[in-house]
Every structure is written in structure tokens, then in C-alpha cells.
Structure 1
Amino acid sequence: MNNNFKGILFYGFGGHARSIADVALSNNIKEILFVDVNARSGETFCGYPVVRDLPESLPEGWIVFPASGSGEMRKEQLEDINRRGWITGNIVSPTATIGVGANFGTACFVGHHSHVGPNAKIGDACIINTGAIIEHDCVINDFTHISINTAIAGKTRIGSHCFIGAGSVVIDGIKVTDKVTLGANGCIVKDIDESGVYVGTPARIIKN
């Protein structure tokens, strides 16, 4: 996992972007720029500028990072980054632990005190948020957000564009289809093959 960038352009300036910036700064990244269509004139974050418009070009050694908390928006941001021929990368907290053989796509965020276990596979533009645990041999597909203090037990497969809410648990060996939202503190104890919103322990669907 490479955090050795000269600078980072964050595509977005919501709360999630600020959390990523915190991790970037803890990796001694010295130069940061936020771009957000809702930026106010003269706005800054910890002294770093927030502007409305993407630049025409970037300095050598910079990456662009899709910083939206929304999976759909991160997908659009990543597609735009690729169209422009810009480089992206993964941003990993120095307090996170990465198991042997773990594999990441691009534009992934791994937050403070999180863990990705051995032989786990993480897709593009995934969020492994603060304190989350992804255990051995798990597969987390593209644009999925594993929220704070969530535990995903071994050999579990989570689809793309999923959101697993804060403090939730998914027991070992479970398969979860695409576009599933699990509310905070929920627990998935059997496979989910229908997209929708789930809550509770055991998780039950409330909206499809």
C-alpha cells in the first residue's frame, strides 16, 4: 500500500473527505487541494484550499482521490478521473493493519485503527472506515462502504454499492448481493440475495 504521494486533490469536500484528509495528513502528505462545486469563496480546511473548479493539470507526483461518501458518486468521480488521465491511489492510515496477501483495487480508503485480514480482496473505491474489521478471505466489491466499528467475519462476500452501517456484524461465510444497506448495529446471519435496506438482529428487509 503506497501513501508516498507529493500531493492529493480530493474530489469533494463533505465529511468523508475530511476524514480521508486526516489520514493523509497523518501520512505526512504536505500538499492538499479540495474541489467541490459547493465550495465558498476563500474556504479552507486546516489551511488547505477548497475550490469549486477542477484544475486543467496537476503537479507531478499528485494523485486525485474520489472523496464522496456515496458509492454512486465515487463511481462517477473515479470515471471522471480516469477520463482525464489522472492518477489515483489508495490512502491507508498508519494505524491500520493489512494482512499478508490482502489485495486492493484503486482509490480505496482504509481508516484509522481498521484491519484488513490475510487474503482479503477489496474492490475499487471502497471505504474501510475507522475501526472496521475485514477478516481473512473476505471479498468486498467495488464502491462499498464498511462503516465505523463494523466486523465482517472470515470468508464473507459483500457485493458492490453496499453500505454496512456503524457497529454492524456480518457472520462468517455470508454472501451479500449488490446494493444492500444495513442499518447501524445490524447483524447479518444468513445470505442476502435481494437488494434493499435491512435493519436489526437478525437483519430483516424494510425496503427494496
Structure 2
Amino acid sequence: MASGWRKIEFYDDAWPDKQANERWQIVGCSGALLDALVHIDSVAVGIGRNDARLSRLRELVSKNVSLATIIHPQASVSRFAEITPGAVVLAGGVVSVDSRVGLGVIVNTGATVDRDCVIGDGAHLCPGTHLASNVTVGEGSFIGIGAVVREGVTIGNNVVVGAGAVVLHDVPDGATVKGVPAR
């Protein structure tokens, strides 16, 4: 297996009502995962909703569970970047020098994070997102597909940046911005 893992198991709270496809088997709910932790080397959380993913990760951290950090072989991560456990950098993702990617962050396919950026816990950079240098993205924020953020901009916590937006100025906590330029 390319990941180096010998065995991958899936746990979903919708189990047994929800069944995986023939490639991925769901073996139990999150309660079963907590019971199985003595036999598990590390855990990755694949919840799409930022707040739910971050909550589950923090719960696991509080129980001293080892979190897997997933970096696709076709991603480019500087050896001088900090990737926090539980983060994911997918194919074509780039994380440059002196940047920090927080707990449970998703740097999706083809997203780029230039130098000196800080991506807060639980944030999601959608495919094709581009952050210039010295950008800060707050906790739980969602940067839509193809969005661009100018250098030095601070995006607050729990912000939604629409697809294709061009963010030229700081965005306060909880705001939703879209368009070119983003408003």
C-alpha cells in the first residue's frame, strides 16, 4: 500500500445504517473506535464539516490518541513548514517555508500556501485556493474553490470565502465574503 499502512479501518456514527462501498469497509461507530484504540497506531478524521472535524480531533487529543498526518506523495511541503498532527495535504498541495498548518486543516488538491502563512485549526482550503505570503486564516474558516488571498491579509475565525473570490483586505470573524474583489 502506498501509504505504508498495513490496515485501514473506517468508523462512522451512521453505522450500521450506512455501509461503505466494496473498497472501504465501515467496521463500527466512533464508540467502537474508542474501544479499539489499544490496537490502533494512529487515527485520521475524515469529517467534512470543519466544526465537527475539529471537535472530534480535540476529543481524540484529550484522550492522548495519536493522530495521523496525511501528506500526499505529490504534495510539496517545505521541510521548514510545520504541519500539525491530524492535518491533510492532498495531491498538488503546496505548503511553503515558515508556514504553519493547524490541527485538522485540509489543504485540498492544488491549494497553495505561500511563505509565513498561519492556517488555524480546523480550516479548509478548497481545491485551487491560493494564499500569498504572510496570510493568516482563522480557526474553522472555509476558503472556497479557486479563491485567492492577497499577501498580509488576515481572515478571521469561522469565515466563509466564496468560490473564486479575490480577498484583498482583512475579513472579520464569522463573515461571508464573495466576488472580485471579495465583499
TM-score (norm 1): 0.79
CA-CA distance at 1:79 after TM superposition: 2.4
- Which residue is 1:62 aligned to? 41
In the TM superposition, what whole-angstrom CA distance separates every residue of 1:114-139 from its partner, at most 9, and x where no partner exists? 10011111111101001100011111
Q: 1:117 to 1:46 in 2, by over 3 A?
A: farther
Structure 2: stretches of 5+ with no match in the other structure: none
Equivalent residue of 1:58, what SS? helix
Provide, for residues 123-159 of structure 1, a one-character-per-residue CA deviation record: whole Å limited to 9, x for no partner.
1110100110001111111110011011001111111
- The Cα shift of 1:43 comes to 3.0
Q: Residue 177 of structure 1: which of 142, 156, 160 is its match?
A: 156
2:104 corresponds to 1:125: yes
- Identical counterparts, % of pairs: 25
| Deviation readout 1:150-184 (Å, 9 max, x if unpaired) | 10011111111100000110011111111110111
Instruction: Tell me which residue corresponds to 2:12.
Output: 36
Specify the alignment match of 1:199 in structure 2: 178
Structure 1 CA distance for aligned equivalents of residues 18 and 160 of structure 2: 37
C-alpha distance in 1 between matches for 2:11 and 2:173: 36
Aligned partners of 2:126 and 2:49: how far apart in 1? 12
Cα distance in 1 for residues equivalent to 2:59 and 2:169: 37
From 88, 94, 112, give the equivalent of 2:91. 112
TM-superposition CA deviations, 1:68-115 (whole Å, max 9, x none): 111111122112212433211210000000123101222000001110
TM-score of the two chains, using structure 2 as the length reference: 0.89
Query: Which residue does the alignment assign to 1:81?
Result: 60
Number of residues of Structure 1 aligned to a counterpart in Structure 2? 180
Give the direction of change, closer, same or farther, for the CA distance of 1:61–1:52 in structure 2 (3 Å limit).
closer
Amino acid at match of 2:166: C
